[in-house]
Structure 1
């Protein structure tokens, strides 16, 4: 296994991965707006699409595990709506990757922003593992400037 050299500049820091999805009726709470917990699900869906595009499908022996998730709620999101989730690559470590996220509607109105950190994990050993050069290239190639 070739471990990635994280000192190389080809990690597309500042690059953005975007995906779109509709707000579903079931995302709403009793007050008629998207429940705060659902914003984390939107982030989860964006990360799943990122891994799918990077050809890192689950289940797998090595996966990116979410170790940090934070969210600032800017504005209540209502149904119906189509949203865009943007993941911006902010840091690549030996075994981790950090990105900020932004959830906005089709007109560019922001509803939430936050940060996620994932760590490459060897599921057989149950511990973090350095990214391989191939994994890092496949993941970071999904982020465009």
Structure 2
């Protein structure tokens, strides 16, 4: 596949009937849900899950999300969603990117980007990343 960055975390998806809207293609909100699922799966694969977030009273929260919907997808199409951590300051912020590709022809159908900020779960306020976040997430940041 023609990935935007090296070494993607891959998450396979296929639109089902509940994902299809009145225009007979995948509803835009479904792509946002898939990105969230892929982001969590990548974090878990790296070694940080929701239980760790609760234990540390810290979470990486989406401060801003952007999605470019390039092509429609249809019921039953095999798709691969890639995600990467592409930047991080090791203190408060990280950036995650997404690229959704149609398996049949390799066409990129969506690109997405999240700006993430570390928060204290109990208060919702921005707080410095704990050492476990820095060690895990910063080691996974890819270079273009």
TM over 0.5: same fold?
A: yes
> How many matched pairs?
133
Of residues 67, 70, 73 in structure 1, which corresponds to 2:66?
A: 70
Separation (CA, whole Å) in 2 of partners of 1:100 and 1:131: 20
Separation (CA, whole Å) in 2 of partners of 1:127 and 1:119: 10
TM superposition score normalised by structure 2: 0.79
**Structure 1 stretches of 5 or more lacking a match?**
1-12
* 1:98-117 paired onto structure 2 within 5 Å: 98-107=95-104, 108-117=106-115
**Structure 2 stretches of 5 or more lacking a match?**
none
Name 2:36's counterpart in structure 1. Answer: 44
Contact in 2 for aligned 1:84/1:106 (Cα 8 Å): yes
- The more displaced of 72-81 and 128-137 is 128-137
- The more displaced of 43-52 and 54-63 is 54-63
Separation (CA, whole Å) in 2 of partners of 1:99 and 1:141: 14
Name 1:29's counterpart in structure 2. Answer: 21
RMSD: 2.2
Once the two structures are TM-superposed, the CA of residue 14 in structure 1 deviates from its matched residue by 6.2
Contact in 1 for aligned 2:85/2:140 (Cα 8 Å): no
More helix by share: 2
Separation (CA, whole Å) in 2 of partners of 1:141 and 1:22: 30
Higher relative contact order (CA 8 A, sep 6+): 1
Once the two structures are TM-superposed, the CA of residue 110 in structure 1 deviates from its matched residue by 0.9
What SS class does the counterpart of residue 127 from structure 1 fall into?
Answer: coil
